[in-house]
Amino acid sequence: MAPRTALIVGASRGIGAAIAARLVSDGARVVMTAPERDLGELEDRVSEFGGDRASLIVGRSEDPVHRARAVRIALERMGSLDALVVSAGTNTHHGAVMEAPSAAVERIMAVNVAAPLGWVQEAWRCWMAEHGGSVVIISSINAERNVEGLGLYCASKAALSHLTRQLALELSPHVRVNALEPGVVRTRLARALYEGREAELSNVYPLGRLGEPTDIAGAAAFLLGSDARWITGAALPVDGGVLLVEPE
């Protein structure tokens, strides 16, 4: 059974939008957030899903004022907060960790680690501590490996997957907290990784293709639903089997 209501962070496109669509199709109502620059795409999602099933709030994930406002408005509009999905992330540095400027380090850690923690803290304080719920955080398979030029991003995702396990321990038995670790998914954010070499990259994956946002949405719907009621603290690779392949 799907959750009745969900707050989805980073829902304007890609994985977040696909999760929102899947939850709505399963009968949930959703509140979606994204930065103000994505307002048009959020409005498209609300129109697509129907105003009685979805609403939007714009703001930056790393802004604690926005997080508090989003949770408050979600509760006012929907009456409960059964599920939280944090799909927002960034990578503002490509290159060696030793060459990373402090501004890039602070930005990546703020968005990829501190902000997800802040969302869970807010949802816990305002609703889930008393009523329970389920959380899914979008991490990455790069939490499990080193990738040349992406060291800082990998470190942030490793921290996020570990944070998931810690939150699962601290918030049990009332709230389940799990992470998904996608491989390369065909989204705008990942386009630089596969554009012009999709066939070559797909051959590395044992299942023979890159991921689609709907692949991640299906896994998220499972973890949020009652069929996963005995799963918490998991960091589930959804990666076409690529972690099975030894790096060259």
How far is Cα 237 from Cα 152, in angstroms, rounded to an integer? 20
Residue 70: pLDDT band by 50, 70, 90 thresholds? Answer: very high
pLDDT digits (tens, 9 = 90+) for 143-175: 888 878 777 888 999 999 999 999 999 999 999
Nearest partner of 202 among 172, 240, 233, judged by Cα: 240
Write the pLDDT tens digit of every residue in 205-231: 999 999 999 999 999 999 999 999 999
Which band of pLDDT confidence, cut at 50, 70 and 90, is reported for residue 191? confident
CA nearest 86: which of 55, 126, 121, 54?
A: 121
Q: Rounded to whole angstroms, how far apart are CA atoms 209 and 62? A: 33
> What digits encode the pLDDT tens for the residues 112-139?
999 999 999 999 999 999 999 999 999 9
Average pLDDT, the chain: 93
Q: Which CATH architecture has domain 5-184+212-240?
A: 3-Layer(aba) Sandwich (3.40)
What are the beta bridge partners of residue 236?
Answer: 180
- Active site positions, annotated: 153
In the chain, domain spans: 5-184+212-240
User: For residue 26, what pLDDT is reported?
Assistant: 95
Higher per-residue pLDDT: 17 or 247: 17
Give the pLDDT band (50/70/90) at residue 247. low
